[in-house]
């Protein structure tokens, strides 16, 4: 069964380095009680323990890494040690009791790019860390990347080396059954180094059962008697069985009761992107290449896209009309070009991508230190004037992305995409939670 609730909590929303109002990258997808972590910048475990965070680290079941930049992975070794109770060590020559006891425990599953396995192994080995709960790293390899075959750390289990398919995607790195009704695929996005975007897809939920279609058959004396003979005293209990098991049931008179159809609106989809200046390769994951036409609004329930830099002439003195850079005026296009040079996006890039995939909601993440969070605890010492300015900048960033998301017209070679009227755009802040509403419960 797919999870009842899916939510995304941001633990770090800063680009590159932490500030007093934002930590570096990490977010948590909560699937009912299970937690999947995406990126783990430094001090991610401290964010978990903060009183503004209601998530328990002990619920972390899987971790996904987008790319190897330090602001996305430097918190991973510490987080892993804590969730695996890895602190402490024994004297040289003594047998470590944690190694013996961990044999039967399922490992923490970690997914990410080439190099992740060696990074973790090196950190754990040099810090003499032994974990009570083992871990496994599954590497998502591009076509030209070699498979890592080094020696395992004592707490490590052999992971899969998953090659991109012929279209360049890693489909179902977590399968639907394994993921408890939510599968995970990944694809390449453009950054200064190899970088991944992840797509979480929920299995379609069954439509509500219509008892009047089933009850007359279940109540037929011959059928009820046959069920009673099988130990099923209340024939109506078959209704809940149909809803949950999704398997047809054949009655004594030959009638086959089929479970209700899956919801035609499909399951929820959440896209979580690493740093990027161009994520358009992922559009095909959402809309297969052979499907012509426009994306339906709401095709992806939530897109988390970076928006590191922005052209803010009203708020940013270096963008004032009189200012020049390299002998040219600073413009929206020049800020976009400079962001791109550093592998990053502006609100326009994020909004255009969200439009291409039919996003219902866009969260702008990975914000430059130039854009502090005015409502963060770390902003309490700032003047009202500063906070008003920061609020103005974030509002303008949201407005620009919103305009790109709603605007119609051509945004990709040969693809005309209508803007969405109902999509929502907001900037991320640390400890913000976004609920992804069940599709059958949408207003
Ligand atoms: Zn980054
Ligand atoms: Zn990066």
Q: Which long-range contacts (CB under 8 A, 24 or more apart) does 115-120 make?
A: 115/68, 115/139, 116/65, 116/68, 116/73, 117/148, 117/150, 117/156, 117/159, 118/148, 118/150, 119/68, 119/73, 119/76, 120/76, 120/77, 120/80, 120/153, 120/156
**Ligand 1 centroid from CA 24, angstroms:** 8
**Ligand 1 centroid from CA 18, angstroms:** 11
**Ligand 1 centroid from CA 344, angstroms:** 9
**Ligand 2 centroid from CA 39, angstroms:** 11
**Is residue 388 over pLDDT 70?**
yes
Q: What is the pLDDT of residue 94?
A: 67
From the CA of 25, the nearest ligand is 1
From the CA of 42, the nearest ligand is 1
What is the C-alpha to C-alpha distance for residues 358 and 354, in angstroms, rounded to an integer? 6
What is the C-alpha to C-alpha distance for residues 198 and 242, in angstroms, rounded to an integer? 33
**Ligand 2 centroid from CA 288, angstroms:** 27
Place of tokens 């939670």: 433
**Ligand 1 centroid from CA 365, angstroms:** 10
Instruction: Give ∠ CA 119-121-126 in degrees, rounded to 5.
Output: 100
Q: Which two tokens stand for residue 302?
A: 């939530």
Q: Shortest CA distance to 161 belongs to which of 228, 196, 114?
A: 114
**Ligand 1 centroid from CA 191, angstroms:** 10
User: For residues 295 and 370, which has the higher predicted lDDT (pLDDT)?
Assistant: 370
Burial class of 95 by CB neighbour count within 10 A (0 to 12, 13 to 18, 19+): exposed
From the CA of 369, the nearest ligand is 1
**Ligand 1 centroid from CA 2, angstroms:** 31
**Is residue 32 over pLDDT 90?**
yes
What is the C-alpha to C-alpha distance for residues 70 and 187, in angstroms, rounded to an integer? 21
From the CA of 191, the nearest ligand is 2
Q: Shortest CA distance to 49 belongs to which of 79, 77, 18?
A: 79
DSSP characters for 210-234?
A: -HHHHHHHHHSHHHHHHHHHTT---
What is the C-alpha to C-alpha distance for residues 32 and 5, in angstroms, rounded to an integer? 5
> Using one digit for the tens of pLDDT, what is the confidence trace for 322-350?
777 677 788 999 999 999 999 999 999 99
DSSP 379: G
User: For residues 443 and 221, which has the higher predicted lDDT (pLDDT)?
Assistant: 221
What is the C-alpha to C-alpha distance for residues 318 and 443, in angstroms, rounded to an integer? 43
> Using one digit for the tens of pLDDT, what is the confidence trace for 258-270?
988 888 778 999 9
**Ligand 1 centroid from CA 66, angstroms:** 9
- Residue 115, sorted as left (phi over 0), alpha (psi -120 to 50) or beta, turns out to be left
**Ligand 2 centroid from CA 67, angstroms:** 7
What is the C-alpha to C-alpha distance for residues 413 and 88, in angstroms, rounded to an integer? 56
> Using one digit for the tens of pLDDT, what is the confidence trace for 136-147?
999 999 999 999
Buried/exposed code over 309-343 (b: 16+ C-beta within 10 A; e: otherwise) = bbbbbebbeebeeeeeeeeeebebebbbebbbeeb
> Using one digit for the tens of pLDDT, what is the confidence trace for 401-423?
999 998 865 555 555 556 666 77
Domains and CATH numbers, the chain: 6-87+104-205+265-441 (3.60.15.10), 211-257 (no CATH)
From the CA of 365, the nearest ligand is 1
Q: What is the pLDDT of residue 423?
A: 78
pLDDT above 70 as % of the chain? 90
pLDDT band at 287 (very low <50, low <70, confident <90, very high): confident
**Ligand 1 centroid from CA 366, angstroms:** 7
**Ligand 1 centroid from CA 190, angstroms:** 13
Instruction: Give ∠ CA 354-364-293 in degrees, rounded to 5.
Output: 0
pLDDT band at 128 (very low <50, low <70, confident <90, very high): very high
Residue 171 to residues 175, 183, 295, Cα–Cα distance (Å): 9, 9, 20
H or E element in which residue 354 lies: helix 347-356
Which of 155-159, 284-288, 309-313, 376-380 bottoms out in mean pLDDT, i.e. has the lowest?
Answer: 284-288
**Ligand 2 centroid from CA 134, angstroms:** 28
pLDDT band at 321 (very low <50, low <70, confident <90, very high): confident
User: For residues 293 and 338, which has the higher predicted lDDT (pLDDT)?
Assistant: 338
Q: What is the pLDDT of residue 335?
A: 93
Phi and psi angles of residue 428, each rounded to the nearest 5 degrees, phi first? -80, 150
Q: What is the pLDDT of residue 241?
A: 86
The residue-averaged pLDDT of 61-82 equals 97
H or E element in which residue 37 lies: strand 34-38
From the CA of 306, the nearest ligand is 1
Place of tokens 């059958």: 440
Q: What is the pLDDT of residue 86?
A: 57
From the CA of 14, the nearest ligand is 1
Q: What is the pLDDT of residue 48?
A: 98
What is the C-alpha to C-alpha distance for residues 280 and 262, in angstroms, rounded to an integer? 29
**Ligand 1 centroid from CA 171, angstroms:** 24
**Ligand 1 centroid from CA 364, angstroms:** 13
């Amino acid at each position: 069964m797919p999870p009842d609730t899916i939510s995304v909590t941001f633990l770090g929303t800063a680009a590159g380095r932490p500030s007093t109002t934002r930590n570096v990258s990490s977010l948590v997808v909560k699937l009912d009680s299970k937690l999947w972590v995406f990126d783990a910048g430094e001090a991610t475990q401290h964010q978990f323990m903060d009183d503004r965070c209601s998530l328990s680290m002990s619920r972390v079941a899987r971790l996904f890494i987008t790319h190897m930049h330090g602001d996305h992975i430097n918190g991973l070794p510490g987080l892993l040690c804590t969730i695996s109770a890895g602190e402490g060590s024994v004297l040289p020559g003594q047998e470590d009791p944690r190694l013996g006891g961990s044999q039967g425990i399922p490992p923490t599953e970690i997914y990410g790019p080439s190099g992740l396995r060696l990074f973790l192994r090196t950190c754990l080995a040099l810090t003499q860390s032994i974990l009570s709960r083992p871990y496994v790293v599954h590497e998502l390899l591009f076509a030209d990347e070699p498979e890592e075959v080094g020696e395992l750390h004592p707490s490590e289990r052999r992971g899969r080396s998953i090659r991109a398919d012929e279209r360049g995607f890693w489909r179902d790195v977590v399968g639907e059954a394994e993921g408890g009704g939510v599968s995970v695929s990944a694809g390449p996005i453009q950054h200064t180094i190899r970088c991944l975007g992840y797509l979480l897809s929920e299995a379609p939920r069954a439509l509500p059962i219509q008892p009047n279609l089933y009850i007359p058959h279940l109540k037929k004396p011959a059928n009820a008697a046959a069920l009673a003979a099988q130990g099923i005293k209340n024939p109506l209990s078959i209704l809940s069985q149909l809803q949950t098991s999704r398997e047809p049931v054949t009655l004594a008179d030959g009638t086959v009761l089929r479970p209700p159809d899956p919801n035609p609106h499909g399951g929820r989809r959440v896209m979580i992107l690493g740093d990027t200046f161009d994520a358009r390769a992922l559009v095909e994951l959402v809309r297969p290449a052979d499907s012509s036409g426009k994306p339906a609004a709401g095709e992806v329930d939530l897109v988390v896209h970076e928006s590191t830099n922005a052209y803010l002439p009203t708020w940013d003195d270096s963008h004032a009309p009189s200012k020049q850079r390299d002998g040219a005026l600073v413009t929206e296009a020049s800020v976009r070009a400079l962001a791109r040079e550093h592998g990053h996006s502006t609100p326009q890039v994020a909004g255009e991508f969200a439009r291409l995939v039919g996003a219902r909601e866009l969260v702008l993440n990975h914000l430059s230190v130039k854009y502090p969070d005015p409502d963060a605890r770390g902003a309490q010492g700032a003047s009202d004037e500063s906070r008003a300015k920061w609020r103005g900048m974030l509002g303008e960033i949201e407005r620009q992305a919103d305009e790109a998301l709603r605007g119609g017209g051509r945004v990709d070679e040969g693809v005309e995409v209508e803007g969405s009227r109902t999509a929502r755009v907001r900037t991320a802040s640390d400890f913000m939670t976004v609920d992804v509403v069940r599709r059958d419960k949408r207003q």
